[in-house]
Amino acid sequence: MFRILKLNYPTLLLFHLLSAGVTAEDVAKSNELFSFLNGDDGWVRIDEKQGAELSIKSFQKMDMVAFRVQKKTNIQKEIIKDIVMDVKNYARYFRDQKGSTFQEIMKTEDWVDGHHYISIDLPFISDREYYFRVQSGGYFASDSNSIVHWYLKKGENKLPYSKSNDSHGSMIIDYGAGTWAAEKGDDDGYMLSYKLFLDPGGSIPDFAVELMNKTNIVNIFNNVLAEASKRDLPTDQ
């Protein structure tokens, strides 16, 4: 006699991710970070530039903050997704990322794995690098707003992409996540948001970490919108 095994969504999600080259540690970290980022409470507006609102949210566990930038737009959501998942062309889209290199490691219909190396031109601070997965939709099944999300993975420093074993002495980081979401839609468009939390590791001063993350999220958001605007032109032009 056979027994039917009933699995809840978290268990199914774990099985799916583990079978797709993600470790149990990656899953635990991602569950924690996306639960935190997707929460509506706690966001505090700190600035506004070119119609985009910048907010922060305190992550008490790490004594750090997450960032959110949002702006109303009518650009097709599919275009946003295509750009964020186009890892092999990140260097062309994100020209503000000076000293950065991007590598696409593996690509499927649902997700793309990549590697990002960040050169830091500051004394006594090592370069950073990380492995990441970017995937369409939301991390949780209940998340119907997210267009695309990404999270850091446990990296293998023996892979040819990593420079942690060479003379650069870079540090591999593995605690971070981000999500692009569309909310509050109407006839005039929708509110596009990008939320980011990234722990750079090491002993970088808190003010420097917050400044880098604040600058990077605004630049990335504007770069994606700039590229999306080129693709979203009316068909008669």
What the chain holds in terms of domains, given with CATH numbers, is: 46-231 (3.30.530.20)
Cβ atoms 46, 57 nearer than 8 A: no
In this prediction the pTM is 0.85
**In the block, residue with structure tokens 């990322």:** 97
State residue 205 phi and psi, 5-degree precision.
-55, 145
Distance CA 146, CA 107 (A): 20
- In a 10 Å sphere around its CB, with 0-12 CB exposed, 13-18 middle and 19+ buried, how is residue 148 labelled? buried
**In the block, residue with structure tokens 């509050």:** 184
Distance CA 172, CA 224 (A): 26
The per-residue pLDDT for range 90-129, each reduced to its tens digit, is 999 998 877 789 999 999 999 999 999 988 877 778 889 9
What pLDDT sits at residue 8? 47
Segment among 17-21, 55-59, 130-134, 149-153 with least mean pLDDT? 17-21
Segment among 43-52, 59-68, 135-144, 161-170 with least mean pLDDT? 161-170
Cα–Cα nearest to 129, from 88, 92, 106, 160 = 160
